Amino acid sequence: MSQPQQLAFIDTLEYKVIYIMTINDASHLGCVKIGQTTLNSSKQPDELIANCDELKTVARKRIDEYTKTAAISYDLLHTELAIKKTNQGLVVFRDYDVHQVLQRSGFHKVKLKKDASNSEWFRCDLKTAIAAIQACKQNQSSLDKNHCIVAKDRVRFRDEQEQAIQKALKTFKKSDRMLWNAKMRFGKTLCALELIKRNPEFKKVIIITNRPVVKDSWFEDFHKIFANDVTTHAYGSKTFGLNYHDILKTDKNIVYFASLQDLKGSAAVAENKKDKNEELFAIDWDLLVTDEAHEGTLTELGQNVIKLLTKSDQNKPKKTKVLELSGTPFNLLDGYESHEIFTWDYIAEQSAKYLWNQNNFGKTNPYEDLPKMHIYTYHLANKFSSYLDLEDKAFSFKEFFRTKTIEDANDHNLSDLDVGDFVHKVDVNHFLNLIVADRETDNFPFSKDKYREYFRHTLWVLPGVKEAKALAALMRSHPVFSQFEIINVAGAGDEEIDPNQALKTLREKMTDTPEHTRTITVTCGRLTTGVTVPAWTAVLMLSGGYSTKASQYMQTIFRVQSPANIGGKTKQNAYVFDFAPDRALKMIADFVDYSNLSDQKMAFKSPMASETRLQEFLNYCPVISLSNSMMREYNVNKLMQELKKAYIDKVVRSGFDSLKLYSDELFKLNSSDLEKFIDLKQYTKHLLPKNKNTYIINREGFAGNETNYDLISKQILTKNDESNQAIIKEELKNRQFAISILKAISIRIPLLFFGSNLKFETITSVDDFADLIDDVSWKEFMPDGITKAKFKDLAKYYDRDIFIGAGQSIQQLAKAADHLEPLARIERIVEIFKTFKNPDRETVLTPWSVVNLHLKTTIGGYSFFDENAFDHEQDQPVFVDQGLFSKQTVLNPHAKFLEINSKSGLYMLYVAYSLYALKTNALNIADCNLEAKYELWDEIISNNLFIISKSPMASQITTRTLVGYRSVKINIHAFDDLISQMQHKKDKLVKKLTNPEFWKKKGTTIKFDAVIGNPPYQGINHQQIYPHFYLTSLKLGKIVSLIFPVGWQEPKSANGLSEINRLEIKADKQIVYIDKYQGIFKNIAGVEWVNIVLWQNGYDNGLSGKQLIKIHGKNHDVKKLLCNQNEIIKPQEIIDLAEIVGSTPGFISLQKFTSPRKPYGLSTDVIGNEAKYGLQTMDLNRKKDDDLIVVGKKGSKLIFRYIRLDCHQIKATKTRDKYKVFVPYAWGAMNETVGLGGIC
């Protein structure tokens, strides 16, 4: 950071000055040049008369910039302000407008080869040039009114717009997707429509957006682009142009605008929606344009809409192209390769503005009206230290602006306040006084009269609706801010403004002459995206924290960068005043990092690339810090430190599934390093990425879900010549392989940091981390074979600072939660768990949504999720009463719960809160202090909950979840051999767990009212483990409810299912019901279907050996769970087919011709195992016409291979070349779909 200095704000508005000059040489004879410059002055327009000294001074300064280097002698002929009077007041015009008047009047531009600024020279005299200026002032389009041109001007695209269009045309020839990462005012709408016009293949185009307010601009811009093509193209939407019924009938090319929200409400997209938009989904669209693509498109419903419109799940010969438009596409960039992205961000825009004047001397700068941003940060925590957030050490706006609510009615400390008043009103008033105080040591935005002129119209962003309303009321009675019109657009709560009319109301308050009005717009989100309010010159960020999303932050601050033409001046500077300095720096670092990611030239980023990009940003957006009465300007080194902090945050939020975690050593892999990773492959091969977003836990381990490393490879390869490509490709392949190994290990680490109580001052290296984890836990959480020694061999590939910093951040997040009330703490802990990945195939971390679904549907309790959407969280938990089952458990203050395989503690967190909430209500202590609340919480933990786990670390994680870092007695025990005891010593284990002494309790026997949990599913060699946990649980609890895969319902005895595939288990009348669910463990293969089993000791379901089977809690069915496959009745279709075929004259069973195990001499597992049987690898494609096709199965899919006819192992039989029909002897576990589909 630079040395302290006194820095003042620059006026946000400047005058435009038109000048006329000539050069006295032969080539310029009879010609004049009309150009423009700017003047910063506080004088009124009528004080700045034509050709006054001030105007001449700035004109000469501008002309000297491009003539002095060439030693050119010129004459300045005329200067005056570029201001005209309109019905809306004084408005600025530009030299370009004067040029237009001359051209329309028959005076053409003169091409002067020696002059780089020849686009502004005209062959006319001074009198004519001055007359053209006066015509602009009188709103005339030409010197001769009788020759005014009425026809619409053709849209002229800037260079970067043309680049975007050309790149899209080129990209769509070889790719189906394109992203325009272009900031507001780039002209994405016009460019997209021009792209449609230029590509004749785009005959049917649909435009969708989650922000339907932009519908007006799309309709208007369509007519600008297609003004002369209305006979070939038609526009449609629900409100403009043709409706979709008429547009389907037209023979023109169509462009249709649709609201994404409306499309999401269609029955084709989701259940329980309206029957509508079927015609739109039926059209085979050539191009899908998604405006503001970062909003609403990545949700499940949004993705469903896009799939339906593009028909991506169909094997179409011609795929629908997709063009996504966004100014902040941070959540989209990972899905694109660099050649599919066009970027025009703030850095590019301001760079173009600056370089234009260097490279195009004298020419009109098309970027001149784009204001420069300035960011000022203020350390409020220095003045209000009690509002420091313990989680991220940042200023807590939420607490500072907290208002009294109805829930605070019984808080005696707030008895003097009305609901809606600020709890810390004195401090909020102090803050308002602080930013208007005129002191030499401070420089606040409203501290001087001239600053209040600069910031006549500002946007203030608050944490919420209630806070916005309270601040608006307080400001209206403030001696300074009462001079401003306070406009609260936050939404419900301020009766003065209709939320739907917020923008209209704001513009009315500003009036058409904003230079004469003053407003402060207070919001908590409304009007911060997708709108343009030119009069805003500054935004005050009084909301959010260190974890704020960069996209949201940047969208908000760029609202004030809109060009403005106010009172005869144009906006040249715009300001951001951020009162959370660390947050502001992190947002900048994130923005630059994402900008770096989307830049094709920096596809594989290095620290140097990031530094370069940061320096560019600071060149065009200086960042100033005010702390302890001193102002300092940030430099790259300081921001690079913040970038490191941003990387740590990104690593934590990705669950250590980020490239930011690794060091530059991955760029230096040698043969010895590579051998090390090849050796590790044997331990992690079942964990390596196979499918980008899928974790496989019930068959082959699991894979990660963040980065497509092939994308990086392609980006780099496109930048190198062919001679180096082979070498580079090999290096990238090796690096990608090494990262995949590291990734399989890294995603297990966050849980270890969360559960452990590491003292980070003792951790100086990545090696230290391994030494501090106990051996049993290390073995459980790390892949088999990855010993501590092997991990230490990999330590150099981790970025030490980010590795340790990320671990420390996880611990700080958990510690900060301990200072919250129990409900708020639960919400914080759950957010932390959302970042964690599943450690191994035995240990699936049950999502909080699934925990809620499981328990609320069985024993009841307080559910945090919506009744109709199991993964949609409610604002407040709601009690679900399951009658007798709730009465015996969550409604019983003395009930004892046992979780049989705790991995995270979330099951017991749900139970603990349910008991706590009920006791809180019963004891009426909801308004007691934090200490009293946790005294009750701890009592429940110690008396009602009992937990067993597979390792000390699992116990530590559970402890951390339930009681944090506080010292509380908790009944938890870790078994080093829990699975073995479940399998071989069930009775001993039951005796141990029911013995009070085991838990250090008094009494004779502990009786568990409920046994709950999610047991491990599968061990080595696909052996199913969950049956042992289920059977043991039946010996322990009065009520048992577990969740596990549905495979046991079928008559199977293999892979460890024999113990549960018994009549006394499957016909057990004590089973209340079995509820089957599909897809609740998202992105985890092998458990697509699971069942929740509810069992009660002594219960009689009255079903005579059958069971009540539900699906998603509905569709009750009673069926018998079979133990023998021969009991399964085949579908009648198969029986009839077999009878018809079998009774055909001359029928002979296939088994008479060939062996079922080795049909035609080939074993049934031959595909993929050719070497095992002495065969060459079979071909994927037919090489010869007489090659034989071999049909096999891989997983659930049919696969095809080809083998030579003369292969010695194939037996020649009469049926070899005939069609065959295979019918299973035993129907087995097949359902109707699989059974009929399995006939080959």
Q: Which pLDDT belongs to residue 685? A: 60
- Taking 3-state DSSP, the helix, strand and coil percentages for the chain, each rounded to the nearest 5, stand at 40, 20, 40
Q: Which pLDDT belongs to residue 629? A: 61
Are residues 861 and 880 in contact, defined by beta-carbon separation less than 8 angstroms?
yes
Q: Which of 309, 344, 379 is the last residue of a domain?
A: 344
Residues 1090, 978: one domain? yes
Q: Which pLDDT belongs to residue 395? A: 77
Q: Residue range 195-205: average pLDDT? A: 95
What the block records as the tokens of 1156 is 């079922």
Beta bridge partners of 1013: 1042
Are residues 505 and 487 in contact, defined by beta-carbon separation less than 8 angstroms?
yes
Closest residue by Cα to residue 424 from 408, 400, 406: 400
Q: What is the CATH number of the domain that holds 995?
A: 3.40.50.150
Residue 834 Rama label (left phi>0; alpha psi -120 to 50; beta): alpha
Closest residue by Cα to residue 590 from 564, 613, 570: 613
How many angstroms separate the CA atoms of 490 and 487, rounded? 9
Are residues 159 and 148 in contact, defined by beta-carbon separation less than 8 angstroms?
no
How many angstroms separate the CA atoms of 449 and 1039, rounded? 73
| 391-429 residues labelled b (16+ CB within 10 A) or e (exposed) | bbebbbbbebbbbbeeebeeeeeeeeeeeeebbbeebbe
Q: Which of 1126, 1159, 1180 is the last residue of a domain?
A: 1126
**pLDDT at residue 925 above 90?**
no
Q: Residue range 476-482: average pLDDT? A: 96
Decide: helix, strand or coil at residue 571.
strand
Residues 857, 915: one domain? yes
**pLDDT at residue 714 above 50?**
no
Residue 648 resides in a domain? no
**The most confident of 638-647, 723-732, 886-895, by mean pLDDT:** 886-895
Backbone dihedral angles phi then psi of residue 772, each to the nearest 5 degrees: -90, 0
Are residues 646 and 593 in contact, defined by beta-carbon separation less than 8 angstroms?
yes
Per the confidence metrics, is the pTM higher than 0.85?
no
Task: Quickly state the pLDDT bin for 735 (edges 50, 70, 90).
Answer: confident
Task: Quickly state the pLDDT bin for 842 (edges 50, 70, 90).
Answer: low
Q: Residue range 462-472: average pLDDT? A: 93
What the block records as the tokens of 186 is 């780039």
Residues 1113, 1162: one domain? no
- Give the model confidence (pLDDT) of 30-75 as tens digits: 899 999 999 999 899 999 999 999 999 999 999 888 777 666 788 8
State in Å, rounded, how far the first CA of the chain is from the last one.
Answer: 73
Window from 129-143, 857-871, 1199-1213 with minimum mean pLDDT: 1199-1213
Residues 367, 467: one domain? yes
Q: Residue range 218-223: average pLDDT? A: 87
Residue 1143 resides in a domain? no
Backbone dihedral angles phi then psi of residue 1107, each to the nearest 5 degrees: -130, 150
Q: Which pLDDT belongs to residue 578? A: 92
How large is the angle between the packed helices 822-833 and 906-923, nearest 10 degrees?
Answer: 170
Q: Residue range 1128-1133: average pLDDT? A: 72
CA 691 to chain centre: 20
Q: Residue range 427-444: average pLDDT? A: 88
Residues 394, 262: one domain? no
Residue 277 resides in a domain? yes
Residues 851, 745: one domain? no
**pLDDT at residue 285 above 50?**
yes
Q: Residue range 1055-1074: average pLDDT? A: 95
Q: What is the CATH number of the domain that holds 333?
A: 3.40.50.300
Decide: helix, strand or coil at residue 374.
strand
Q: Which residue has the higher pLDDT, 544 or 350?
A: 350
Cβ-based neighbours of 293, under 8 Å, separated by 6 or more: 179, 324, 325, 326, 329, 332
**The most confident of 178-187, 226-235, 630-639, 1006-1015, by mean pLDDT:** 1006-1015
Task: Quickly state the pLDDT bin for 460 (edges 50, 70, 90).
Answer: very high
Window from 650-659, 931-940, 1078-1087 with minimum mean pLDDT: 1078-1087
Backbone dihedral angles phi then psi of residue 1104, each to the nearest 5 degrees: 50, 50
**pLDDT at residue 484 above 80?**
yes
How many angstroms separate the CA atoms of 19 and 255, rounded? 45
Q: Residue range 843-870: average pLDDT? A: 90
Q: Which pLDDT belongs to residue 720? A: 46
Residues 1160, 1116: one domain? no
Window from 455-464, 480-489, 844-853, 1013-1022 with minimum mean pLDDT: 1013-1022
Task: Quickly state the pLDDT bin for 1099 (edges 50, 70, 90).
Answer: very high
Q: Which pLDDT belongs to residue 1036? A: 97
Residues 303, 377: one domain? no
Give the chain's mean pLDDT: 84
Are residues 182 and 342 in contact, defined by beta-carbon separation less than 8 angstroms?
yes
How many angstroms separate the CA atoms of 580 and 461, rounded? 13
Q: What is the dihedral of CA 700, 701, 704, 710, to 10 degrees?
A: -40
Residue 1132 resides in a domain? no
Q: Which residue has the higher pLDDT, 264 or 106?
A: 264
Question: In which domain, by residue range, is 1182 found?
Answer: 1151-1229
Residues 918, 1064: one domain? yes
Residue 1164 resides in a domain? yes
Report the number of distinct structural domains present in the chain.
6
Cβ-based neighbours of 1163, under 8 Å, separated by 6 or more: 1157, 1169, 1173
**pLDDT at residue 339 above 90?**
no
Cα 364 to Cα 14, 271, 304, distances in angstroms: 17, 56, 47
Kindly tell me the burial class for residue 1228, based on how many C-beta atoms sit within 10 Å of its own C-beta (0-12, 13-18, 19 or more): middle
Closest residue by Cα to residue 37 from 24, 21, 26: 21
Give, in degrees to the nearest 5, the angle at Cα 1015 between 1009 and 1018: 155
Task: Quickly state the pLDDT bin for 860 (edges 50, 70, 90).
Answer: very high
- Give the model confidence (pLDDT) of 493-532 as tens digits: 445 566 567 888 899 999 989 999 999 999 998 888 777 8
Residues 1047, 905: one domain? yes
Encoded amino acid at 1030, one letter: Y
What the block records as the tokens of 995 is 């013995």
Q: Which pLDDT belongs to residue 963? A: 97
Residues 365, 337: one domain? no
Q: Which pLDDT belongs to residue 600? A: 40
Window from 599-613, 734-748, 764-778, 825-839 with minimum mean pLDDT: 599-613
Q: Which pLDDT belongs to residue 1168? A: 76
Task: Quickly state the pLDDT bin for 840 (edges 50, 70, 90).
Answer: low
Cβ-based neighbours of 110, under 8 Å, separated by 6 or more: 31, 118, 121, 122, 123
Closest residue by Cα to residue 388 from 759, 754, 805, 816: 816
Window from 545-549, 679-683, 1141-1145 with minimum mean pLDDT: 545-549
Residue 1080 resides in a domain? yes
How many angstroms separate the CA atoms of 309 and 280, rounded? 8
CA 566 to chain centre: 38
What the block records as the tokens of 413 is 């400390």
Cα 279 to Cα 236, 257, 313, 731, distances in angstroms: 13, 14, 18, 50
**pLDDT at residue 958 above 90?**
yes
What secondary structure does DSSP assign to 1187-1207, as a single string? PEEEEEEETTEEEEEEE-TT-
Are residues 60 and 76 in contact, defined by beta-carbon separation less than 8 angstroms?
yes
The pLDDT > 90 percentage for the chain reads 44
How many angstroms separate the CA atoms of 217 and 189, rounded? 8
Residues 449, 496: one domain? yes
- Give the model confidence (pLDDT) of 87-109 as tens digits: 878 899 999 899 988 887 778 78
Residue 554 resides in a domain? yes
How many angstroms separate the CA atoms of 882 and 861, rounded? 8
Cβ-based neighbours of 658, under 8 Å, separated by 6 or more: 647, 650, 651, 706, 707
Residue 242 resides in a domain? yes
Strands 623-627 and 74-81: unpaired
Q: Residue range 776-796: average pLDDT? A: 87
Q: Which pLDDT belongs to residue 151? A: 39
Q: Which pLDDT belongs to residue 1076? A: 95
Q: Which residue has the higher pLDDT, 1103 or 779?
A: 1103
Q: Which residue has the higher pLDDT, 1046 or 152?
A: 1046
Window from 102-111, 447-456, 553-562, 1011-1020 with minimum mean pLDDT: 102-111
**pLDDT at residue 713 above 70?**
no
Radius of gyration of the chain (CA): 36
**pLDDT at residue 420 above 70?**
yes
Cβ-based neighbours of 979, under 8 Å, separated by 6 or more: 842, 950, 1016, 1019, 1025, 1028
Are residues 359 and 372 in contact, defined by beta-carbon separation less than 8 angstroms?
no
Window from 517-526, 1085-1094, 1175-1184 with minimum mean pLDDT: 1175-1184
Encoded amino acid at 927, one letter: D
Q: Which pLDDT belongs to residue 601? A: 35
Q: Residue range 395-416: average pLDDT? A: 84
Window from 433-437, 544-548, 1100-1104 with minimum mean pLDDT: 544-548
Task: Quickly state the pLDDT bin for 1156 (edges 50, 70, 90).
Answer: low
Task: Quickly state the pLDDT bin for 717 (edges 50, 70, 90).
Answer: very low
How many angstroms separate the CA atoms of 556 and 551, rounded? 9
Q: Which pLDDT belongs to residue 569? A: 92
- Residue showing tokens 């392949």: 733
What the block records as the tokens of 320 is 């629908």
Question: Can you give the three-state secondary structure of 1050-1111, one letter per residue?
Answer: CCCCCCCCCCCCCHHHHCCCCEEEEEEEECCCCCEECCCEEEEEEEECCCCCCCCCCEEEEE
Q: List the beta strands (DSSP E) in 663-780.
A: 695-696
Q: Residue range 1205-1212: average pLDDT? A: 74
Give, in degrees to the nearest 5, the angle at Cα 802 between 800 and 804: 65
Closest residue by Cα to residue 900 from 1049, 1020, 1037, 999: 1037
